[in-house]
Chains A and B, each alone.
Chain A
Amino acid sequence: MSKREDTDLKNIIGLTTAEEILGEREIGRDKLVIKGRISPDLIDEISRRKKEPDWMRRMRRMYLEIFNKLSTPQWLEGIEELDLDELSYYVDPGVERRFSWEEIPKDIVEAYEKLGIKKAEAEFLLGLNAQLDSESILLRMKENLLKKGVVFLPLEEAVHKYPDMIREYFMKIFPPEHKFAALHGALWSGGVFVYVPPNVKIDTPVEAFFLIGSALEGNFEHTLIIADKNSSLHFIEGCAAPRLSRYSFHDGMVEIYVGENAHVTFTTLQNWSSQVINFNNKRAIVERNGHIEWVEGSIGSKVTYVYPSAVLRGDNASMESYVITFARDGHIKDSGSKVIHRGRNTRSRIVSKSISMRGGKTIYRGVVRILKGAENAKSYTSCDTLLLDDKSITATYPHVQNDEPTAIIGHEARVSKISDQLLFYLRSRGLNENEALSMIISGYISDVLSRLPFEQAAIIRGAIDLEFSKYGRVG
Chain B
Amino acid sequence: MTLKGLLVKDLSVEVAGKLILRDVNLEVRPGEIHAIMGPNASGKSTLAYTIMGHPLYKVVNGDIILDGESILNLPPEERFKRGLFLAFQVPPETMVKTRTLYTYLAKRNNISFTKILQYIRDIGLSEDILDRFLNKNFSGGEMKRSEFIQMILSSPRYTILDEPDSGVDADGILMISRFLKQLKERDVGVLIITHIGRVFKEINPDAVHVLIGGRILMEGGPEIIKLIDENGYEYLQKLAVKR
Chain A interface residues (CB < 8 Å from chain B): 386, 416, 419-422, 424-432, 439-444, 446
Contacts and interface: CB of A to CB of B under 8 A. Distances in A.
B55 A440 contact: no
B91 interface: yes
A430 B154 CA distance: 9
B139 interface: no
Query: 8 nearest interchain CB pairs?
Result: A427-B76, A443-B96, A430-B80, A443-B95, A444-B95, A422-B92, A428-B76, A427-B77
B81 interface: yes
B95 A416 contact: yes
A464 to B, nearest CB: 13
A425 B92 contact: yes
A79 B56 CA distance: 41
A416 B101 CA distance: 20
17 contacts: A386-B95, A416-B95, A419-B92, A420-B56, A422-B93, A425-B94, A426-B94, A426-B101, A427-B80, A428-B79, A429-B77, A429-B101, A429-B105, A430-B80, A430-B105, A443-B100, A446-B97
B177 interface: no
Contact of A424 (B76, B81, B154): B76
Nearest to B105: A429
Interface of B: 49, 52-56, 75-77, 79-81, 85-86, 88, 91-97, 100-101, 104-105, 108, 133, 150, 154
B137 to A, nearest CB: 15
Contact of A420 (B55, B80, B96, B154): B55
Contacts of A420: 55-56
Contacts of A441: 95
Contact of B91 (A425, A440, A444): A425
Contacts of B92: 419, 421-422, 425
A442 B104 contact: no
B100 A439 contact: yes
Contacts of B101: 426, 429, 439
Given A425-B91, A428-B85, A440-B94, 13 more contacts: A421-B92, A424-B55, A425-B88, A427-B53, A429-B101, A429-B104, A430-B77, A430-B105, A440-B95, A443-B94, A443-B95, A443-B96, A443-B133
B74 to A, nearest CB: 11
A427 B75 contact: yes
Nearest to B91: A425
Nearest to B56: A420
Nearest to B86: A428
Contacts of A431: 77, 104
A421 B84 CA distance: 18
Question: Which of A430, A441, A446 is most buried by chain B, counting CB atoms within 10 A of its CB?
Answer: A430
Nearest to B153: A429
Nearest to B135: A425
A386 B81 CA distance: 29
A442 B97 CA distance: 9
Contacts of A419: 92
Nearest to B76: A427
B138 to A, nearest CB: 13
Contacts of B94: 422, 425-426, 440, 443
A426 B96 contact: yes
B96 A440 contact: yes
A426 B54 CA distance: 11
Contacts of B97: 443, 446
Nearest to B90: A421
Contacts of B105: 429-430
